[in-house]
Structure 1
């Protein structure tokens, strides 16, 4: 046999190496840069516009509530909800308008505004945790009794025929976004908080035993021809977690109580009323609380419209097949749109994930998350860290419009924080954290910075990349920004509204899917 030519041998080895690289390149590419199932390439970094963020913070503090006119046009006709979708403008709580001499509390600076937001946020998460603890068990009898004692409110009535004590109707948070609807016949225009983490709908009503100050005149039931009290035997009254009844001269009537983590509450009579949306869609027979005793801080709104998954939420009562919303930036006075449809409408969002129901707690809407990544690298945590335990009802990831900062289990948060810090390196100076946030940077004097891309991953190779503004939150309006994620000791995770801002979130209830469409507001 002829001797092997060294040059031919080198060419052969180079050929083998090239073939090997081609075979391995898809795997190597996936490790370096994760891709969506649609094939669009995800960059490992995203740019944060510091200048634009600081400008919005200045406008948020100096915003003039008396100059904002968000009244909707009067209804021109009545339409059936079977053929129409309901559309509402959606506004951030911190840009609530003023009217009739009422003005929302102005903050002395941006840090004070941030402090109030985080205080509401902490109260909201504690309230959700208490609700979950009651639903799944695991609380000692003494802890449970203490919780119920705190929620117990003595009924006070201007009429004198209602007295006694009732306990929670099962609400969990006061919400962060609001819109304008009409209640009754003829319709009375009212600003109402819209909350995906609440079920019971309610408004303040005359005569008030105790009502907080609101922008609009308080609703007068005697002026509405569609006002109808619900009996204790009605299915709506029985759907309250715990209800209380009072005997009048003719029949027993149903009472409700809604309490919230920030100390707000509403107590009154559970009734049926008509709600009108936009310029044409009118829905009759909606179970809603008419509150004669109300307190707390709902920023002048007349009440709350529940968009949760329980049987008493507005979404459930009208048998909506889908709804979607887009949350505007918290420091922006712009509006977005909430759409509710009773017709079949499959989600067409570029990113979809299974909608998961917790058998122990129907109010909250869970999404199936399989993992998270930072800068194109998956976090070293198992999918079980994000899953709902069907036996106990613990675990899982809730999508909530009323929670501000995303909460993650300690193992997930630690991995996320460490990966984010490592990717940031020493390019930016870290500063001491505040509130529940421990990864903060001084960005003052900078126009823009690059930060690692954070992504949520879902089944079937789907992934949602977050913009930099969804990951960093301003603390003082002067250049201190923190990673907008925090650890939680409660047995579930929550995707908060900072991470949802600028993303259209769609709930396909007919097909149990959650859709996400970045930059589609």
Structure 2
């Protein structure tokens, strides 16, 4: 009897371990989405699925967030071509983040624009205390800039604009008339003369002094933001009213009014900065927290970007870390990765910021594919391929070197993948967050890539379907699966 009990216990342990080590990927559903996004007859069921609204008790305001694909029909004839375009844009994005980090840490400034010499100081009247704010989020894959767009009201009376949301930036900006050089956007270009709340900032203003690169013309503050991929925006630094749908508005938000804008921003009217610097939107409105949920990149639905809302009760928490050398990036206390329920042999120091300000891991809304320091990626790839020996391998694709042929399958069991954070908390990813289709014929790839940089980046493919929150008071990052 004792032997039988032991045997049954071992069988139970085996089954439990097996269940925890694999998860089921719905191949048919994923492939169908690649076909739907290519079909011009399929239109978004509702771009305003989540209307901006306010809760009388909490004062919560919200923007709707949209994926790129729901805003503008792309010109690609097949999903493989669309994927290659996405990955090329993603490479530019990562280069931009890494170059910005290296630029700051190098301590040099190559810009020809000279800092403004501030001779006077202003009060903080223009830096207001925010109520709880929120806005909808949409995927933006087909627009040419960013991956997700918030629908934001700007000016008085408010005009609606799609703005890229970017946790890796600090300066809010939009294209403005007159345009010396402007890229194509979905909405009409903002006209300052049509807004009664538009105000140019003087050179001695506190906001102007907070700019890293600025100049002065006729006592009007000028700004310049350059990105590592060669994109840039230049113009007047101003304050304007930001409206959250029908729920309310916030006055005197400092932002760039760009008259010369070039690069990868096609489609959006500008950029909503969610970084950690003093001029980002959360910092200006003194938000205690903000959160967003990114719907599937091929989805035509929407979600929300919220300010000062409470994290869901089922959230996985991780420390929110700051790099004293780089205020913009929001670092997360990541310590490891699991594959098949087993921790990989990766030193926690791989994901830590060192004394020089290098290293660490950030959660970025604008990067699609998670980039891992090369040692961490090698451990992930080796463990995954070893545990996925029953899957049919195929050639690599673009920046992906681990791909599989699921063309004859409708569903498939795959090794689980998860992130581990300081404090022992773990975030289990859905299979669709790490095995993604790259064409419509059943080719799927492991959606991670190595980087020569010491900076690891958790991208939005891994964030999809999870509400990611930043509690700026408690200094924690929260992950809430299935909370869009």
TM-score (norm 2): 0.86
Is the Cα–Cα contact under 8 Å of residues 443 and 481 in structure 1 kept in the other structure? yes
**Residues 275-286 of structure 1 aligned to structure 2 (within 5 Å):** 275-286=242-253
1:179 to 1:404, Cα distance in 2 relative to 1, 3 A: same
Q: In structure 1, which of residues 412, 416, 441 is the aligned counterpart of residue 376 of structure 2?
A: 412
Alpha-carbon deviation of 1:304? 1.0
**Residues 256-405 of structure 1 aligned to structure 2 (within 5 Å):** 256-341=223-308, 345=310, 348-389=313-354, 391-405=355-369
Is the Cα–Cα contact under 8 Å of residues 49 and 303 in structure 2 kept in the other structure? no
1:478 partnered with 2:441: yes
1:91 partnered with 2:66: yes
Q: In structure 2, which of residues 126, 132, 147 is the aligned counterpart of residue 176 of structure 1?
A: 147
3-state SS in 2 of match to 1:364: strand
Q: Deviations over 1:177-204 (max 9, x none)?
A: 0021111111111121111111111111
1:56 partnered with 2:25: no
1:434 partnered with 2:402: no
Which residue does the alignment assign to 2:462?
A: 499
Q: Deviations over 1:295-335 (max 9, x none)?
A: 23423221111111111111110011111111111111111
Partners of 2:464 and 2:50 in 1: how far apart? 27
1:424 to 1:284, Cα distance in 2 relative to 1, 3 A: same
**Residues 100-111 of structure 1 aligned to structure 2 (within 5 Å):** 105-111=74-80
3-state SS in 2 of match to 1:461: coil
Which residue does the alignment assign to 1:468?
A: 431
3-state SS in 2 of match to 1:62: coil
Partners of 1:332 and 1:86 in 2: how far apart? 24
Partners of 1:74 and 1:329 in 2: how far apart? 19
Is the Cα–Cα contact under 8 Å of residues 174 and 262 in structure 1 kept in the other structure? no
Unaligned 5+ segments in structure 1 are 1-10, 35-41, 98-103, 139-143, 154-172
Partners of 1:432 and 1:75 in 2: how far apart? 45
Q: Deviations over 1:435-456 (max 9, x none)?
A: 1211111111210111111111
RMSD, aligned α-carbons: 3.2
Which residue does the alignment assign to 1:162?
A: none
Partners of 2:281 and 2:420 in 1: how far apart? 30
* Higher mean C-alpha displacement, 391-400 vs 473-482: 473-482
Count of aligned residue pairs for this structure pair: 453
Partners of 1:306 and 1:89 in 2: how far apart? 16
3-state SS in 2 of match to 1:505: strand
Alpha-carbon deviation of 1:289? 0.7
Alpha-carbon deviation of 1:64? 5.1
Partners of 2:365 and 2:50 in 1: how far apart? 26
**Residues 127-166 of structure 1 aligned to structure 2 (within 5 Å):** 127-137=96-106, 148=110
Which residue does the alignment assign to 1:194?
A: 165
Q: In structure 2, which of residues 83, 87, 94 is the aligned counterpart of residue 125 of structure 1?
A: 94
Partners of 2:222 and 2:392 in 1: how far apart? 56
3-state SS in 2 of match to 1:131: helix
Alpha-carbon deviation of 1:505? 0.9
Alpha-carbon deviation of 1:264? 3.1
Larger Rg: 1
Partners of 1:64 and 1:321 in 2: how far apart? 42
Partners of 1:395 and 1:297 in 2: how far apart? 27
**Residues 17-32 of structure 1 aligned to structure 2 (within 5 Å):** none
